[in-house]
Amino acid sequence: MDPATLADTPPQLPPPPREGIEAAAIFLDLDGTLIDFASRPDEVVVDASLREILLALRERLDGALAILSGRPLQRLDELLDLRTLAAAGSHGAELRRADGSIPRRVRDAPGIASLRAYARMQLATWPGVVVEDKPDAIALHWRAQPEARDAVVDTARRIASAAGPRYQLQAGDHVVELRGAGTDKGDALAKLMRHAPFPGRVPWMVGDDLTDEHAFAAAERLGGFGVIVGPRRPTRARHALPGTRAVREWLAHLAGIGGARG
């Protein structure tokens, strides 16, 4: 389905599956979905209620809860302190199942350090731009300096050309990232759905960014749906929530606990 066909469709928040919330598998993006963006990725603030909500929801779902993020797994664990939660990091390049096993890891390939150094040199005159190192990836953020967008995108294209076909560019919200080709959040969602406790459940994917569209599509193919967070349109998602606080409150309701603070 072309995302443009949904551009004028007013999304509505879905009810739980007919069989109840216990029949769902919930997949959540992090930045812009569970927590608000910050000028720099290392300055984000995790709401005090979030860990409690996720723990209660995981118990309600018998473990069928996962985080799908562009951040590395290590950083997800530092932010959420939920090291046993199923998760995909680095846009699916890293994968951890609900049993704690990690079938997919990623390490720097030769040459990536030189590309990072080149990006920093090219963008040194833009002090608000952040060159973020990720495992075998480079994310260029211009949220703190919007006027640097063209310079950042041009630099990203140059490093992609130098990196070769095993890498691709991924656009996002005030960020463009060079990452390994062949994996995305949709691929990660589909792989997790093959392993306990996810099989047979209805997948819900909640996310805000372009990088979440792959996972919306994967959830749809498996009989589920996407929930878009915030105003971005068009989207494949058929349902919506207005922002991060609304997401936390909705998840708290599903988990059967009090609403989120902040």
- Return the ∠ at Cα 112 (arms to 157 and 139), rounded to 5°: 55
**Is the pTM here over 0.75, yes or no?**
yes
61-83 confidence digits (pLDDT tens): 999 999 999 999 999 999 999 99
Domains and CATH numbers, the chain: 23-104+183-255 (3.40.50.1000), 112-180 (3.30.70.1020)
- Give the C-alpha separation, 212 to 28, whole Å: 9
pLDDT tens, residue by residue, 127-158: 999 999 999 999 999 999 999 999 999 999 99
10 band by pLDDT with thresholds 50, 70 and 90: very low
Residue 250 to residue 105: CA distance in whole angstroms: 32
Report angle CA 125, 131, 133 to the nearest 5 degrees.
155
Active-site residue (options: 8, 29, 47, 108): 29
Average pLDDT over residues 231-240: 92
The amino acid sitting at 32 is G
CA dist., res. 236 & res. 95, Å (int): 24
What count of other Cβ atoms lies within 10 Å of the Cβ of residue 131?
A: 19
Nearest of 204, 196, 180 to residue 17 by alpha carbon: 204
Whether pLDDT at 167 is above 70: yes
Distance CA 134, CA 71 (A): 8
21/94: higher pLDDT: 94
Mean per-residue pLDDT of the chain: 91
* Of residues 115, 181, 121, the one with CA closest to residue 151: 121
Reported as a single tens digit per residue, the pLDDT across 88-135 is 999 999 999 999 999 888 889 989 999 999 999 999 999 999 999 999
- Look at 47-51, 103-107, 152-156, 209-213 and tell me which has the smallest mean pLDDT: 103-107
- Is 42 noted as a catalytic residue in this protein? no
Q: Which residues of 15-30 are buried (b: 16+ CB within 10 A; e: fewer)?
A: eeeeeebeebbbbbbb
Confidence at residue 2, expressed as pLDDT on a 0 to 100 scale:
38
Instruction: Let me know: does 115 contact 178? Beta carbons within 8 Å.
Output: yes
pLDDT of residue 12: 67
